[in-house]
Amino acid sequence: VMTVPFATVLILVSLSQLDRRIDLAARGLGASVWERATRVIMPNIRFGIVTAALLSFVLSWEEIGVTLFITSVNAITLPRLMWMGLRDNIDPAIAALSGILIIITVLVLAVRSLVTRQRGAR
């Protein structure tokens, strides 16, 4: 969750450097929204996406390291619980918890984006 702003900025920078004429040409040639997203936009911003993913991974890994070194043996934080679940055994609950955290983060970002658009339209 803490890495979402960094990833968002990196992807937005990639999107801002995307040549809009390519998307307009694909639209003019009859490409659907899905085709434009997968065949035009995603290949052109893939380096931003890969960079965002790598940076998010490194920052998340650092968070686990900090949590393991700073907390006491009795303190069980979410990063520590997830690390123990990955280290000791593959627990489906950890995967479900990770999925829930991702969904919550995406929903918060979507609501914020909608609110920002509505304020800009006024």
Question: Is 100 a member of any domain?
Answer: no
- pTM of the predicted structure, to 2 decimals: 0.55
Q: Which residues does 93 contact at the CB level (< 8 Å), separation at least 6?
A: 85
Question: Is 113 a member of any domain?
Answer: no
User: What pLDDT score does 122 carry?
Assistant: 66
Question: Is 96 a member of any domain?
Answer: no
* pLDDT-based confidence at residue 1 (cuts at 50, 70, 90): low
Where b means 16+ CB within 10 Å and e means fewer, 97-122 reads: eeeeeeeeeeeeeeeeeeeeeeeeee
* pLDDT-based confidence at residue 86 (cuts at 50, 70, 90): low
Single-letter code of the amino acid located at 28: G
Query: Is the predicted pLDDT of residue 117 greater than 70, yes or no?
Result: yes
3 state SS of 2: coil
Question: Is 97 a member of any domain?
Answer: no
For 45, the domain range is 4-71
Question: Is 14 a member of any domain?
Answer: yes
User: What pLDDT score does 38 carry?
Assistant: 92
Question: Is 66 a member of any domain?
Answer: yes
pLDDT cut 70: percent of the chain above it = 79
Question: Is 101 a member of any domain?
Answer: no
Domain count, the chain: 1
* pLDDT-based confidence at residue 101 (cuts at 50, 70, 90): confident
User: What pLDDT score does 30 carry?
Assistant: 94
**Nearest to residue 59, comparing CAs of 114, 5, 12?**
5
